[in-house]
Amino acid sequence: MADMKTAAYICKGCELGNRLDAKALIQVATKEGKMNLVREHDFLCSTEGVALIKNDIDNEGVTHIAICACSRRAKTEAFNFPTVAVSRANLREGVIWVRPDTDEARETTQEMAEDYVRMACAEVKAMTVPSGNPNTGGVKTLMVVGGGISGMTAALEASRAGYKVVLVEKSGALGGWAAKLYKRIPTREPFKAPEDNGVADLIAQIEADANIKVYLNATIAKTSGAPGRFKVEIVVESGPQATEDIGAIVQATGFELYDMNKLPHLGGGQANVVDQAGLEALARAANGGPIKRADGKEVKSVVFVQCAGQRDATGEHLQYCSGYCCNASIKQAMYFKDSNPDIDTLILYTDLRTPGNGEDFYRSAQNKGVIFSKGVVSQVVPNGNGLTVKFKDLILDEETETEADLVVLATGAVPNSGVNIEAVAAPAAEESEGEGEAASAALPVAEVKTISILNLDYRQGPDLPQFKHGFTDSHFICFPYETRRTGIYAAGPVRRPMDTAQAIEDATGAAMKAIQAMENAGLGRAAHPRAGDLSFPTARLEGCTQCKRCTVECPFGAIDEDEKRYPLFNESRCRRCGTCMGACPVRVISFENYSVNTVGAQIKAVDIPDEFSEKPRILILACENDAYPALDMAAMNRYEYSAFVRAIPVRCLGSVNTIWITDALNSGYDGVMLMGCKHGEEYQCHFVKGSELGRYRLSKVGDTLKSMNLETERVLDMEVAITDIETLPKRINEYAAKIMEIGFSPFKGF
């Protein structure tokens, strides 16, 4: 710290030199920013400009630089100086591109630019260069949990990429559901007939692969540690317990069929009614010959009931579509037609969903004479030696019926995702009553499972967090593979409903992500969305009050508690969102390059004019993933907005510490706009829960406002999406107008 040498660079390119008074900016950086070195350049991102900075670092001993040019999102390759602390003053997207080039606007535009220079100088002085921690664990072995198609695919893909794999399967054989299929839905041209289930080939490949170690009849007793240094205890039925060092995990634990016994009206549990697995068993037994029922009678007519217990609006059964059943029933109807075209096969559906090449498969079945009828089945009842299927024909709009020797119910899939940690933890957690109720109402019909799969030794529970309907959570918009447990990836139908072909693709993707996570962990780098970030949170434990807010709130379960209930950071589990920092009431948590100080110093650096100037100041804290890019893009489109706002990017709304808001209001800001991502079921937060946690925390700011005798409108919580390019400037202007209406803050000048 002692030999900190600061420098500011004022760029005059991209019209900055014409629109702004560069001399005045230099003055500000020198006098107010107190930078040791201040330079201007006509074109800073040019080779020559970059060389200038590089020379100062190499030969002048500069350690902290403030680049006063364009947005921090622009020219990142040119302005890449990993050995020094870097801040950016956004004079282009943040100032000249959002302001009119008029005489009357010149003064406020210049003030805006000067403030951003002050802020960049203040910020950089509060930063240090992230050093990274290479000692977070360098194990490069992947563990795959589940030996079905997804698991075997993930194992083989990782092995092919040169990694060792430990494959854990709870049953006595590899293969999963696919092994029980007589044939599978076609995965290649011409997509017209069922094909071999492909399992024998995969098993042979795994057995021949020296990189892959298989545990059969095995479960996981405990998973502790973090990416790059997991320790996993594996229990083998009637065998010794094993411990494996693991770098990352792919959970491919698949699904179970929804229990047809819950569907008595559709004949579930009756003779001659089977689910799709039951039909596969009959087809395997027949092996291409006539398919016979359990009583030995040859099936001459069969009815397939789609969506049996699925897409149920009443809440009694599964609410979702399992995605594969339409193609599965088409395939099963072909078993009959291929053995004897005279067998009557009727598929009763409401919406036939055969995405992609499934359309060719569907057509092929129609060509083979499978009858498809849009109908909703009300009842399946025994009728002599067969069954009567009563249904409403939706095209002919009438109640009708048909007879069949056998009925197949397409009951769909229930994910095998282990314990729902939120449902289990809910009563114990300090949640508000409202939220608790909402959580229990959203519980899936599938019973709450009590047997854990991963047995994670994490403060926040033993399994992956779940999203809707018991599927493991993933960032469904931007990062579908990522769960909320870094280095642990869900793949296949445990993640979302999918068929074999999709599962193969999914497993491949998950294996690649897991490899990336192991490699990142070994280098002390963050995983997405701050991929490559070397900073990590540290706590000044002597100030810690052991309140546990950080350990409870961390969306990624990165923080455990030690025996004295102090936070115990597991760095490679951390995604660097800063939620812990935002949550800490005593402000002891910080990153090297992002802290209560780096933002606080910027807030304080802004020049607050007195109330007679008629120039309010509005602080914007904008999520760097969505809101801040939206502001930049608005600028690229030259959408103008008020000159009275000062925007500071934050890693996530979850990282916003309330002290920033109190400080801002105390120092005379007239309003604060908090721009974060949508939360809730259709969340868009890159850190899944970050914006929700931040919002909940900041909702309490109202009390602070009251105690300060300030209007509640002075703090505005906004949901902003990256696409709000046109509306965001309007909303800023509306808020600025609103502030003018309310009047100036009484805290100015103190």
Contacts with other proteins by CB under 8 A lie at 301, 342, 344, 346, 352, 362-363, 366-367, 369, 371-374, 393, 395-396, 400-402
Q: Output 150 or 301, the one with its CB closest to other proteins.
A: 301
* CB 502, min distance to other proteins, A: 22
Q: Output 193 or 352, the one with its CB closest to other proteins.
A: 352
Helix (H) or strand (E) holding 141: strand 141-145
Give all strands (DSSP E) within 50-140, no chain letters.
64-69, 85-90
Q: Which two tokens stand for residue 10?
A: 């004022």
* CB 109, min distance to other proteins, A: 49
Nearest-angstrom CA–CA distance, 710 and 746: 8
Amino acid of residue 45? C
If you ran DSSP here, which 8-state letter would residue 72 be given?
Answer: T
Q: Output 387 or 674, the one with its CB closest to other proteins.
A: 387
Q: Output 347 or 618, the one with its CB closest to other proteins.
A: 347
Q: Output 366 or 613, the one with its CB closest to other proteins.
A: 366
* Listed residue (649, 728, 653, 647) closest to 698, CA to CA: 653
Decide: 746 and 715 in contact? Cβ < 8 Å.
Answer: no
Report long-range pairs for 447-452 (Cβ below 8 Å, ≥24 apart). 448/419, 448/420, 448/423, 448/424, 449/417, 449/418, 449/419, 449/420, 450/419, 451/418, 451/419, 452/418, 452/419
Q: Output 124 or 302, the one with its CB closest to other proteins.
A: 302
* CB 347, min distance to other proteins, A: 10
Q: Output 378 or 400, the one with its CB closest to other proteins.
A: 400
Q: Which two tokens stand for residue 341?
A: 């075209």
Nearest-angstrom CA–CA distance, 576 and 582: 12
Q: Output 367 or 440, the one with its CB closest to other proteins.
A: 367
Q: Which residue has the tokens 């350990």?
A: 551
* CB 351, min distance to other proteins, A: 10
3-state secondary structure 317-354: CCCCCCCCHHHHHHHHHHHHHHHCCCCEEEEEECCCCC
Residues sharing a CB contact under 8 Å with residue 250, sequence separation 6 or more, in sequence order = 142, 143, 144, 145, 151, 154, 158, 488, 489, 490, 491, 507, 510, 511, 514
Q: Cite the DSSP H helix spans in 554-614.
A: 579-583, 596-605
How many Å separate Cα 286 from the centre of its chain?
45
* CB 358, min distance to other proteins, A: 12
* CB 349, min distance to other proteins, A: 9
* CB 340, min distance to other proteins, A: 12
Q: Output 395 or 428, the one with its CB closest to other proteins.
A: 395
* Listed residue (4, 10, 7) closest to 116, CA to CA: 10
* CB 398, min distance to other proteins, A: 9
* CB 343, min distance to other proteins, A: 9
